[in-house]
Every structure is written in structure tokens, then in C-alpha cells.
Structure 1
Amino acid sequence: MRIIPLSCMKHLLLPALLLLASPAAFAQKGAPATDVEAVKKTINTFFDGMRKGDSALVRSTLAPTAILQTITNRNGVVQVRTENPKEVLKMMGTPHKEVYDERISFEQVLVDAQLASAWTPYQFYVGSTFSHCGYNSFQLVKLAEGWKIAYIIDTRRKEPCK
């Protein structure tokens, strides 16, 4: 067995201690796990409602003045399109043959007081047919009723997908 001298241990322990003490080491910037999970639940409920065609469930996740936008790039022309939330809810709630299925993962969720931001890569399917992919950026606010989506902006493309 080899014994490591105390002087060498100091050099090994110092970087480890600095890393643990660094604010960057905390993935959620110190946010309570309950808030992070509640933010994820709100976003998942939004997409559960979309898959079910339940516009009331989707509406329950939105702040009263929610803004929905998408970034498109057609033939090299980038545009930001604002969607009318009422029209989006109508489209989701109108019976349709295929399920609208947006499959997301949570890459990052940040929370500070009553503000949260979530970054989610996604793939969108109509039934079992792939439609497009991209990233969603969600901004949520913690209202009296809980976490609500105030703003969504996304990218849309056919490839490359994560």
C-alpha cells in the first residue's frame, strides 16, 4: 500500500473543495427541488393535454397573458411568428385523427423566486409520423395557483435532431 504524503493530499483536496463550493456546481442554482419538479410538471401537463386533445388541460398550464412564438428558417430567411393562444388551444382541442405528440427532455431548469426558465429539446410526431424537431424555451411564473407558462419560443427543423 502506498501512502500519499499530506502535502500532496492538500493539492488533491483543494480543487475538489473549490468545485463543491462553487455556485456553478449546483445545476439548479440552489432552487428548491420542489420548485424544479413543479415547473417540470406544469410543462409535462401542457404536453399531456396536447396529446389528449384536452384544451382545458393545456389552458390550465398557461398564465393569463401567455405568449407563444416559433422561430422558422425557410430558405435562409429567419422569422419569428407569434401564435394566438386561443387559436392554438382551439387547434389542440378540435378532434383530430392523429395524436399530436411532442416528446421532450429537460436539458436545464433554472428557478429564482417566482421566475423559472426551462430549455427542452423535442421531437414532434403526428401519430407515429415524425414531423419536426428543435428546442423549446419556456419562461414560467409562480402565481397564486402555482407555476404557469408565461412565454414559449421554439425552433423548428427536420434535422439535425438531438
Structure 2
Amino acid sequence: MPQFATSLLLAAVLSLPALVANAQQAPSETEAVKRTVTAFFDGMRRGDSTLVRRTLAPGAVFHGIGGRPGQPVALQTENINGFLKAVGTPHAEVWDERIKFEQVLIDANLASVWTPYEFYLGSKFSHCGYDSFQLVKLADGWKIAHIIDTRRKEKCK
């Protein structure tokens, strides 16, 4: 066996345990990230601003991309304290954002989550789009640092 092939084979064999360890860790980290995002929406559905707040990193930022028909698209920054107050204020209809986890990417203490969603007020459809979450792993677990979403009423399915 040529020297180069031997070195390549040795490098592959030596790196195999690290690859196996990474593969074993990834599902549990992925599930932990999903649990944080799920808890965020569970808190919204329950009107529990304390539960929602526990999912957020200090300094978290919310953005929405939207606009009215015929108007230019605009980037809107949401006030997190205002959002939390609205979640915790009793309202007639349940705020039910239904998501599907399409993609969860993780590198060290950073995760990115991509989810299509449909938003319902009680049982009535309101709007749809995609959520993009950026999460960071802090001492007390995965926390949402940034959410940005699209919002539309058409072409939802």
C-alpha cells in the first residue's frame, strides 16, 4: 500500500470515534432545541408569558417581514415586552401557531431552526408563513435569541 493511502486510512480510522460521538450527541441536542421552540408556542397557546419568557435569551430580538398588498415589504421589529404582555393578557381566542420542524442545524452553541407555520385564532385561520429561529446554548440550556418570520394570508398550503 502506498504511503499516502496508508496515511489516509490511518487518519480515517483515528477520526471515526469522533464522528460516532458527534452523531450520537446530535439527536439529543436537536431534540433539546425543538423542546425550547415547542415550549415557546405552548406558552403562547396557554397565555403563559412566564413560560414564553423562559425560552428567550437575554436581549432576544423579534422581527417580522410583511406588508400590505400593494405596499413594499417591510422589516418590522416587535417589542418583546409588549409581546409578552399581550401573550399574558387574557384574550378570547387561543393563539395557536402550528409549526412543522423542517430543518434544525446545530454547531456548538448555535442552532438555527426553519419551520413553516399556520396561525389560528381559536379555530379560525389567520395567516401563515415561515419562522426562522436562532438559538444559543447558555448555562441553563437552549434559548431563543432571534425570531424572524414571514406573514401572508394566501398560498399557505
Give the alignment's TM-score, normalised by structure 2: 0.83
2:84 aligned residue (89, 109, 116): 89
Structure 2 residue identity aligned to 1:145: D
Find the counterpart in structure 1 of residue 47 from structure 2: 53
Find the counterpart in structure 1 of residue 152 from structure 2: 157
Q: Which runs of 4+ in 1 moved over 2 A?
A: none
Report the aligned-residue RMSD: 1.2
- Deviation for aligned residue 1:39: 0.4
Instruction: State the Cα deviation string for residues 15-36 of structure 1 (Å, max 9, x = none).
Output: xxxxxxxxxxxxxx95611110
- Deviation for aligned residue 1:73: 2.7
- Cα distance in structure 2, aligned partners of 1:160 and 1:62: 30
Find the counterpart in structure 1 of residue 27 from structure 2: 33
- Asked whether 1:80 is paired with 2:60, we answer no
Give the alignment's TM-score, normalised by structure 1: 0.80
Query: How many pairs align?
Result: 134
Find the counterpart in structure 2 of residue 24 from structure 1: none
- Asked whether 1:115 is paired with 2:110, we answer yes
Instruction: State the Cα deviation string for residues 125-152 of structure 1 (Å, max 9, x = none).
Output: 0001000000000000000000000000
Find the counterpart in structure 1 of residue 58 from structure 2: 64
Contiguous gaps of at least 5 residues in structure 2: 1-21
Instruction: State the Cα deviation string for residues 26-71 of structure 1 (Å, max 9, x = none).
Output: xxx9561111000000000000000000000000000011000000
Find the counterpart in structure 1 of residue 142 from structure 2: 147
Contiguous gaps of at least 5 residues in structure 1: 1-28
- Cα distance in structure 2, aligned partners of 1:104 and 1:32: 21
